[in-house]
Structure 1
Amino acid sequence: MATMIRNGGTGPGARTVDGCSVDFWKQLKPGPEPDIVAAAVPAGGSILELGAGVGRITHPLLPRGYRVTAVDNSPEMLAEIRGAETVLADIEDLALDRQFDAVLMGSCLIHAPGFETRHALLATCRRHLAPDGQVLIQRHDPSWLDRAQPGFAWEADGVRNQVDAVVREDTLVRMTLRHTIGAETWTHCFTTEQIDFSDIEQALTAADLRFARFVDVRETWIVAKTA
């Protein structure tokens, strides 16, 4: 199935089908994610990174000894990655005919609207997972989607972020975020689904996976293994 994750946005530079700006993501720092991955995956392991973007997480993992295969459906994003194998593909359609010690699915993709889409994403994780491997899945902070209101703003690593608009309809949350770095501004308009842990467990089970543990104290990173 071709990806159903299609969003919009504004601002300078190329834009992906999910609404992300390549120029904006190029300026973001890695954050805590490389350390989170390193805490879960033994050094030297092979990692399939789904939705790798410009390599914000990919690049810090390489000097730690990981062998990373970076997947994205944006050629402009993948063109920024150095030192790792890159694959241009929708995650849902990916079939590399090989398996990895770890599969990394960040960017809160588990919140993509619709059970069918979540199942397709997790099925890709499962078919590329080695028998004793693990899937690392990022979810939203459980309270974030409840707290997000128009006008809410915060700063991090030189980026000013603001919620411009929020529309809630049943479990769907349509949001517009504004990001400013210096004189440049980007917006990202996207739809996400507010799901709880039981919904994630159900999606894991349907993909022949099971919850193993949380990696971080905020419980935003899940380790799943084969059922």
Structure 2
Amino acid sequence: MGSSIRFTGTGPGARTQDGCSVELYRRLPADGEAETVAAVVPAGGTVLELGSGPGRVTHALIALGYAVTAVDNSAEMLAHIRGAETMLADIEDLDLGRTFDAVLLASTLINFPEARTRAALLAACRRHVAPGGAVLIERRNPATFFALQPGPAGEEAGIRHIIDSVRHEGRLSHITLRSEAADAAWTQSYTCELIDDAQLAEALADAGLRLDRWLDPPRRWSLAVLA
């Protein structure tokens, strides 16, 4: 599993089995994920990064002194990672037989629009976190989940993001996002589900985890521990 939701779309370069553009994600920078880990996990610790993509967060973690095992189900994504152990696997089926100081489930993977898949993601986190370790989970901000509207959606590393369309349906949002660089453009359509505090707490409990605390005021990042 290499993306938060099922992606479809167009654009140059290789695509993963779930539709992500390898080239687009290769160009995108980290967005403070490594610093979030560093706030709770001592330098030198081991980190299992689930859904690493081409390593934008992996490389930032390595630069801060962490020993990273990067997991993705795309060999094309993993080929861009340097300095980390890599594992080609679906997150849901992963069982390395060892544990880590921290397990990172970033890129809003938890917003996958299927309860069974979300449960499998959290079960993988539970299998791999060491006693006393941390599971760090990034979700879409529930307070602004349904505020998303068509129009400009920011710029990073010379790539402009534009929301072409949004359709809200119950707890789901169906989004088409266009990303434009000077030499290329990509369009990706995906669906994500609102995950509120109560739903996250219940899902964690079902997986044998519990919410320890929120790591940021918007409550996008949660820290879970063994129950």
TM bracket (short chain)? over 0.9
| Distance in 1 (alpha carbons) for counterparts of 2:150 and 2:162 | 8
Q: How much identity, in percent, do the aligned residues show?
A: 53
| Distance in 2 (alpha carbons) for counterparts of 1:179 and 1:31 | 17
Conserved 8 A contact 1:19-1:190? no
**Alignment match, 1:57:** 57
Conserved 8 A contact 1:40-1:215? no
Worse-superposed segment, 146-155 or 26-35: 146-155
SS across alignment from 1:216: coil
Unaligned runs of 5+ in 2: none
**Alignment match, 1:90:** 90
**Alignment match, 1:113:** 113
**Alignment match, 1:43:** 43
SS across alignment from 1:143: coil
Worse-superposed segment, 29-38 or 202-211: 29-38
Structure 1 position 5, deviation (Å): 5.0
**Alignment match, 1:29:** 29
| Distance in 2 (alpha carbons) for counterparts of 1:148 and 1:18 | 23
- Trace 1:117-156 onto structure 2 (pairs within 5 A): 117-156=117-156
| Distance in 1 (alpha carbons) for counterparts of 2:61 and 2:67 | 8
| Distance in 1 (alpha carbons) for counterparts of 2:38 and 2:82 | 20
Worse-superposed segment, 4-13 or 47-56: 4-13
SS across alignment from 1:81: coil
Worse-superposed segment, 17-26 or 93-102: 17-26
- 1:75 correspondence with 2:69: no
Cα gap change, 1:98 to 1:40, in 2 (>3 Å): same
CA RMSD of aligned residues (A): 1.8
Q: Deviations over 1:111-145 (max 9, x none)?
A: 11122111100000001111111100001122342
**Alignment match, 2:160:** 160
SS across alignment from 1:176: strand
**Alignment match, 1:20:** 20
Letter in 2 for 1:111: N
| Distance in 2 (alpha carbons) for counterparts of 1:139 and 1:87 | 24
**Alignment match, 1:220:** 220
| Distance in 1 (alpha carbons) for counterparts of 2:4 and 2:40 | 30
Conserved 8 A contact 1:73-1:90? yes
Structure 1 position 26, deviation (Å): 1.1
